[in-house]
Amino acid sequence: MLDVKNIKKDFPIFKNHENDKKPLIYLDNAATTFKPKSVIDATSRYYLEDGANAHRGDYDLAYHVDKEVEKCRAHLASFLNCFSREIVFTSGTSMSMNLVAYGYGIKFLKEGDEILLTEAEHASNVLPWFKVSETTKAKINYIPLDEEGRCTPEALRKVITKNTKVVSIAQVTNVLGFKIDIKEMAKIAHEYGAILVCDAAQSAPHMKIDVKDLDCDFLCLSAHKMLGPTGIGALYGKFDLLKKMDPFMMGGGDNARFDMCGNVAYLEPPAKFEAGTMNIAAIYGFDEALTYLENIGLENIENHEKELRNYAINKLKELDNVIIYNEKADAGIITLNVKGVFPQDEASYLNSKGICVRSGEHCAKLLKDRLKTVGTIRVSLYLYNDKSDVDALYEALKNGGNFLDAFFN
Amino acid sequence: MLSLTNEMKREIIMEHYNSPNNKVEDITKISNFENFRKIRMDSDSCIDDITIYLDIENDVIKNAYFSGVACAISTASTDILCDMVKNKSEKDALYIISQYENMLYEKEYDSEVLEELNAFSETHKQAARIKCATLGAFGISKILNGENDE
Ligand SMILES: Cc1ncc(COP(=O)(O)O)c(C=O)c1O
């Protein structure tokens, strides 16, 4: 397992809450993650030292900012194993998905075409496709999940047809935490002439991704879920696809020239998609977040989470009052309920013990028909969690039926 | 009114959560439902999703019901409010709600009129629950202020 005591020292938020009345046990990493000091410092460094806009290279400071932005782009490209020109900065996964849906989906899909999703997708990988469907009359269908809620290549093979143009799925689903075999899915999609869009919001922070090996056509991620700042993320796209797709935001920085007769010459990707001033400070921080993850090693992170998850599952299974919905899942996500207690009541009880978890539908609204519950509690682990966090959760859940204790203490 | 101990408050909440008096599965089973005014309150930050129905005649609330799913705090507070606004004038009902909100937001309030709603006097200690405790109250006051879902 990782040396969590030392890792925690890199995250100032833990120290800043050391003297609180209750401990800070953060188990909501699927929502967002804490930031190491190196990331926070890099973000400040932009404001403290560099300060200029990007793409405005007439003076030293501006030139330096451009270099930093391109350094982060190259870093992310090597992190994912692709070319820099295939990395578009966005505000995060949601914007990346919308960019694919508008820039590719609306441009190329038409009536009779089909988009394949699953019931386990996050709203950000569903609603943009609803819009594509509404605009182009292409149909949305769902790849059936197996009994446990997993999406398999065999299931895709059963439903895919010549009309399928887009298959868009999460590599790790945010409610159940199953890891999907994207490489095999992409292969099947390509056999039928469809593209594969991969939502990597919940996978990129926790496992090594090689987009060339996966052979996905697009991949979306958010920095804030991988120790980076909020408000920055990326879209990876195969260069020929990026070239032919449209920007969905137009403006300064994305065109070479235009005239008032409506003629525009757009820049090449990725600049074509990066109109307007970006979140430059966050790009500085994102670069450091990648460095931090690489220094620890994604494989080590994945193994740490796996071990911690096993420990948690074995321990929580001892509790008769706890229902676990995804015992067999792969990622560090555990979805559960305390019998007879509404998830939100349980989550506020856990909050009174200093334990941060998410209650609710976790945006996968379509899934609730499958789990047969209106909501769940989601526990999600990361590299700064250890067995003591799981032990605290265990102790709290043991008494979880008395959830109103929180209300009267 | 007697001051309530925490134990009594807890019992009131659990009682109204576990066996609410005014919760219905299917409003169409209630006679005259076509004439009820209703509003759907689905919270943007949680899974609470309830619909409140008021049967109002000549400015008097004849009956109050709700349906849907919600946490203990939302369910119990909505159920108690439904009990309390029955057979009250719109004006009196709005007064109760205003005093209830004053209590939740730690302002001066008239605890006499709140009856069982006094069980929620500790809500401010778990500020995230204020939203739950006010879901039903907001719904009822919206209806009384003229809103009505189709
Ligand atoms: C699977 C998945 N996709 C997309 C998103 C949206 O990410 P963001 O809010 O950073 O755009 C999330 C975030 O919760 C997610 O878990």
Looking at residue A160, which CATH number applies to its domain? 3.40.640.10
Specify whether A177 is located in the same domain as A197: yes
- Residues A167 and A119 both lie in one domain: yes
The closest CB to that of B46, out of A352, A360, A409, belongs to A360
**pLDDT of the residue at B2:** 59
- Structure tokens belonging to residue B105: 């937001």
Rounded CA gap, A91 and A227, in Å? 15
Report residue A281 as tokens.
Answer: 């400070």
Same domain, A255 and A301: no
For chain A, positions 373-392, list CB contacts with chain B under 8 A: 374-375
End-to-end CA distance of chain B: 40
Query: Do A202 and A150 share a domain, yes or no?
Result: yes
> Is A109 in contact with A83 (CB distance < 8 Å)?
no
CA-CA-CA-CA dihedral for B59, B64, B68, B69, to nearest 10: 110
A404 C-alpha to center of ligand 1: Å?
32
User: What is the pLDDT, as a whole number, of residue A367?
Assistant: 63
Of B6, B47, B122, the CB nearest to A374: B47
**Are the Cβ atoms of B123 and A404 closer than 8 angstroms?**
no
Whether B19 has its CB under 8 Å from any CB of chain A: the answer is no
pLDDT, one tens digit per residue, over A298-309 is 999 999 999 999
Domain annotation covers residue A210: yes
- Percent residues over pLDDT 90 in chain B: 81
Q: Give the Cβ contact number of residue A409 at 10 Å.
A: 12
Residues A267 and A396 in one domain: no
Q: What's the confidence (pLDDT) of residue A363?
A: 52
State the closest ligand 1 atom to the C-alpha of A224, by its place in the atom list counted from 1: 10
Based on the fold, state whether residues A151 and A224 are members of the same structural domain.
Answer: yes
> Would A35 be classed as within a structural domain?
no
- Return all residues near A87 (Cβ < 8 A) that are at least 6 apart: A73, A76, A77, A80, A234, A235, A236, A270
Least confident of A128-142, A185-199, B114-128: B114-128
Report whether pLDDT(A255) > 90.
no
Contacts with A361 from chain B: Cβ below 8 Å: 47
A386 and A286 both lie in a single domain: no
What percent of chain A is predicted at pLDDT more than 90?
83
Ligand 1: residue whose CA is nearest its atom 9 = A94
Exposure letters B106-120 (e unless 16+ CB within 10 A, then b): eeebebeebebbbbb
Domain presence at residue A383: yes
Size of interface A-B (CB pairs under 8 A): 46
In this predicted complex, what is the ipTM? Answer: 0.76
pLDDT of residue A364: 54
Q: What tokens were used for A329?
A: 């899942």
Say whether B47 and A344 touch across the interface (CB within 8 A): yes
Is A20 part of any domain? yes
Active site residues of A: 363
pLDDT digit string (tens) for A360-404?
Answer: 765 555 566 677 787 899 999 999 999 999 999 999 999 887 888
CA A309, A310, A312, A313 dihedral sign is positive
Closest-approach residue (CA) in chain A for B46? A360
Residues B39 and B52 sit within 8 Å (Cβ to Cβ): yes
Tell me the average pLDDT of chain A: 94
pLDDT of residue A373: 81
Domain end position, chosen among A294, A315, A343: A294
Which of A28, A335, A345, A369 is most worth mutating to test chain B (most B CB atoms within 10 A of its CB)? A345
Residues with Cβ within 8 Å of residue A14, at least 6 apart in sequence: A8, A24, A34, A384
pLDDT digits (tens, 9 = 90+) for A120-156: 899 999 999 999 999 999 999 999 998 888 999 999 9
The number of distinct structural domains making up chain A is: 2
Mean pLDDT of A225-251: 95
A4, A151, A273, A299, A331 from A302: Cα distances, Å:
14, 21, 32, 5, 8
How far apart (Å, rounded) are the C-alpha atoms in residues A376 and A309?
Answer: 17
Q: CATH number for the domain including A12?
A: 3.90.1150.10
Go through the domains of chain B in sequence order and give each one's CATH number. Answer: 6-144 (3.90.1010.10)
Assess contact for A216 and A182: CB atoms under 8 A. yes
Indicate whether A330 and A196 sit together in one domain.
no
